[in-house]
Amino acid sequence: MDRILVIRGGAIGDFILTLPALKALRDANPEAHIEILGYKHIAALAENRFYANAVRSIEYGPLARFFARNADLAPEMKDYFAKFNLVISYLYDPDEIFAGNLRRCGVAQLIQGTGKIDCSEHATRQLARPIEKLGLSVSDLAAKVFPSSQDRQFAKEFLAGLSLPVVATHPGSGSAKKNWPLENWQELGNDLLSQIPLVVVSGEADEAQMAQLRAGWKMRDVRFAHNLGLPHLAAILEGSIFVGHDSGISHLAAAAGAECILLFGLTDPAIWAPLNENARVIRAPNNDLQLLEVDAVRPAVDQALMRIGIKT
């Protein structure tokens, strides 16, 4: 197949959990033009970074018509979809309205993946099912990202002046219920800063937390990686020790090769934790991160530091 389109919306973690399936697709079609229709700031992790040749935004006005039955489809979108020999869609489409409109465009082969993850097996395995329908084996379920030389140059400049490796933390997530208390992050960070530089990752939803951490760690050996592009952030996390929650950034860190210590509360790591060998999960007592003490996390961090030659 010479032209393949993968339609993948969802958040950062959802996209990264799909990468093992995309890797099997790329390995089987090394010369194909593979394109991703998704959120551009997320799919950038794949664009010209092994998986995909191009990315197109799913947030495009005329595309909305494809979610309406018997809609008048934009000619440019009909022409766009008709160019692909194979379309794999992960959109939630229970009534197959979107699928029906794709077929109206002349899509030769359409495979639909799961739009929602259930509790039957790990999310990565569920997301691999569409690829297996093509007769391909998805045997490696550990997601990987491949930063470009430009991404690594950005990371080098961002980390300039710090002794490497660093410990990176992400005190946020997509939900406050999945977060460890901020005072625990402050305590752990204070311990770490006596031994190793710290990189704190944050996004727009973490502004209040970051203000408190910045105030407490002013003039300390800390870099704040705020609202960075995901490919650049992946390069920064590459080779670090990472501590985080069940979040998309934790999946990114694991896929980038960071040694990860991940704190899970309400969500089930058997479904949602990265399957990378470099990822270790600490489950909170009674699945409640409010009950997880710093002393229960510190030994795992100390072991990681000792492995890189830092005595604790």
Summarised one tens digit per residue, pLDDT across range 260-290 is 999 999 999 999 999 999 999 999 999 999 9
Q: What is the rounded distance in angstroms from the CA atom of residue 20 to the CA atom of residue 131? A: 10
DSSP state of 95: T
CA–CA–CA angle 303, 177, 277 (5° rounding): 35
SS3 content of the chain, % helix, strand, coil (to 5): 40, 20, 40
> What are the structure tokens assigned to 149, written together?
């030389």
Q: What is the rounded distance in angstroms from the CA atom of residue 69 to the CA atom of residue 100? A: 8
CA–CA–CA angle 277, 283, 288 (5° rounding): 150
> What are the structure tokens assigned to 2, written together?
């010479």
pLDDT value of residue 176:
78
- Tallying the residues shown for the chain, one arrives at 312
| Cβ atoms 143, 276 nearer than 8 A | yes
**Ramachandran category for residue 309: left, alpha or beta (phi over 0 → left; psi -120 to 50 → alpha):** left
Side-chain half-sphere CA neighbours of 249 within 13 A: 30
DSSP string, 142-191: -------HHHHHHHHHHTTTS-SS-EEEE---S-GGGPPPHHHHHHHHHH
Task: Look at domain 149-307 and name its CATH class.
Answer: alpha beta
Q: Counting beta carbons within 10 angstroms of the beta carbon of residue 23, is it exposed (0 to 12), middle (13 to 18) or buried (19 or more)?
A: buried
Q: What is the rounded distance in angstroms from the CA atom of residue 73 to the CA atom of residue 71? A: 6
| Domain covering 3-132, topology | Rossmann fold (3.40.50)
The domains spanning 3-132 and 149-307 adopt the same CATH topology: yes
Q: Give pLDDT < 70 ranges for the chain.
A: 1, 218-220
Residue spans per domain, the chain: 3-132, 149-307
pLDDT value of residue 32:
97
Closest CA relative to residue 111, chosen from 84, 89, 138: 89
CA–CA–CA angle 64, 52, 23 (5° rounding): 110
**CA–CA distances in Å: residue 230 to residues 42, 237, 245, 247, 253:** 7, 10, 17, 13, 10
Considering only CA atoms, give the Rg of the chain: 21
23 φ/ψ angles, rounded to the nearest 5 degrees: -65, -45
pLDDT value of residue 22:
98
> What are the structure tokens assigned to 137, written together?
């084996």
Point out which residues pair with 38 in neighbouring strands. 8, 57
Closest CA relative to residue 260, chosen from 270, 247, 248, 250: 250
